[in-house]
Chains A and B, each alone.
Chain A
């Protein structure tokens, strides 16, 4: 997993509540057995005017010029500003994979769907929760000035605005630790292998039916 320490990038405003995982990456792209290559199809149905196909060349497709990421002022954006309940819907990890593959490293929203929130951390994508009023203010500023950039510093848990103003944010300490160090949590869990085995033995004794599996 990519480490996340400090990031500065252009912010793009996704001004819509309840952005679901089908919008982030439509199902036809879920047929891939790989983890990468989803970026060109991020927000496919919003971004293009026709229907996208997996493994197809996207370069000649008609763009929806109204869509925020197709506007030149947001080219290269890596911080996504969003509204409430971002990432609702399915558990597909293809959603953070697509965002990450496109180039996003940070999402800022008032709230997220639980599974999406969790999946993001596992892929070096930092979802930040801010108060609705603060998010609203950011939207206003992003719309107002072209090239608006935000800097996100994970260690100090601060977002630094172009004017120098700072916004504090909360992050779960364990997830922060994993992101800063780019840690694979399977390795961490396996350090507790003895505890897992002990638990399993107790469970086998008290609920043997969970272990005697008939085929």
Chain B
């Protein structure tokens, strides 16, 4: 019999019950909650007089709506200017208090973007099934966990039953072998992969990232890659367990301690795809081919290397794709054939659950140190992923480096990633952003997003346009 993939193993170990129609009841070890997708789920529980099945499996924190300026944050919830946002954050607090769910509230220094907080606390562990009402839950798969986003009905279902009804997905392996070039990060790798397979390339699949380039990548880089698996259509991104995983998890507040640690590691060591495992699909990528990536359009698959030209619609033969390119060029205010490095920027955003961890901030700080933000920019924001990331960065003096260079140093939250709070792009503005989605209007009405790595965003902040970080 052929061996099992990592996904097969995680799936098999969580099946509570197979059902006749081919679906299975899958046990969920951890549910992360935030203010946007949980209120209707709590309301559903209340209406049906149901209690959460297992309180300690849940962990909550507000992130999408929280303001990121210090003046607003110091005031607390009452400091949230937008009344609708305020109600949403308050509703999460009230619901968690009422049901007895642990929540890192807005003033808690452990608060942050839910996908940064989970791993940071060790609430994300290898071998777990993890869900959250947020598509970027795929992030947690970097820990050899089975993690995916769910809708609000499923948030309620998991709260009430600790289970989900699922159908097994297909196995897709993205194999990145070789050595990554200087300045090439997980962000560039995943954008490059999405450029190859497209935004629907992973539909119906659990996507494992493997190969020698991934083995030598940090946990932060792996999280960035898994985070964007959803941008390739896969609900699940995963990386096998290894020493990097163990080292990251060890000592975190929710991680196993003393003799339970050894017992856990012994089990976690099995969380790899077997040598003879069979994948439904394998995509091979040569690490050495990957250059710094920049998206030019309104879908993450509209991506090219920084040294390339914006594509021309007439070069595309498929009519649906051609009209998508035309639309995107129009929305982005770009001409086919123009150089990526000629795109002038208005704002720079370094943050989001894709790239707001300490390693990301260090990479950005290393670029801007001793330099000045281009005078043509209206704003360059750095938003750490959590209060603890912020604290760590300040201990290392990164905040001083950013502010000295003319970047703003903010309080943790989702911020300009989706512009649910006050941080947003103006109509027609171009932004170099380390987030994960460049959809129309994502970062603000009429805003034009270009997805890049933290180092590339930092370099763009200095020059006011895109530039290969290695040539700065």
Contact = CB atoms under 8 A, between A and B. Distances in A.
Contacts of A122: 151, 153-154
Given A33-B91, A93-B153, A45 B135 contact: no
Which one of B82, B84, B91 has the highest number of Cβ atoms from chain A below 10 Å of its Cβ?
A: B84
Interface string B147-186: 0111111101100111101010000000000000000000
B165 A31 contact: no
Nearest to A95: B151
A85 B203 contact: yes
Interface in B84-104: 84-85, 87-88, 91, 102
A71 B406 CA distance: 49
A135 B16 CA distance: 38
A114 B204 contact: yes
B235 A174 contact: no
Contacts of A92: 36-37, 151
A161 B161 CA distance: 41
Contacts of A93: 37, 40, 133, 151-153
A66 interface: no
B161 A114 contact: no
Interface string B13-34: 0001101010101010100000
Interface residues of A, number: 63
B260 interface: yes
B78 interface: no
B16 A199 contact: yes
Contacts, number: 186
Nearest to B261: A209
B437 interface: yes
Given A18-B299, A31-B88, A92-B37, A186 B156 contact: yes
Contacts of B196: none
Which one of B64, B128, B254, B323 has the highest number of Cβ atoms from chain A below 10 Å of its Cβ?
A: B254
Interface string B191-224: 0000000011001100000000000000000000
Interface stretch (A20-28, A100-108, A141-149, A151-159): A20-28
A212 B85 CA distance: 34
A147 B166 CA distance: 39
B199 A115 contact: no
A196 B441 contact: no
Interface in B327-345: 327
Interface in A197-215: 199-200, 203, 206-215
B324 interface: yes
A32 B135 contact: no
B27 A196 contact: yes
A85 B420 contact: no
A34 B36 CA distance: 11
Given A27-B420, A196-B25, A88 B65 contact: no
Contact of A84 (B39, B200, B235): B200
Contacts of B125: 209-210
Nearest to A34: B40
B404 interface: no
Interface in B213-263: 233, 235, 253-256, 260-261, 263
B65 A16 contact: no
Given A196-B16, A209-B256, A211-B56, A186 B161 contact: yes
A59 interface: no
B278 interface: no
Which one of A55, A90, A174 has the highest number of Cβ atoms from chain B below 10 Å of its Cβ?
A: A90
Contacts of A54: 84
B320 A17 contact: yes
A213 B58 CA distance: 11
B50 interface: yes
A30 interface: yes
B384 to A, nearest CB: 21
12 contacts: A18-B199, A27-B418, A33-B43, A33-B88, A89-B135, A90-B149, A115-B151, A122-B151, A172-B167, A193-B161, A199-B27, A215-B102
Per CB-CB distance, the 9 closest pairs between chain A and chain B, nearest first, are A209-B256, A119-B151, A33-B39, A93-B151, A91-B149, A122-B153, A93-B152, A31-B84, A91-B135
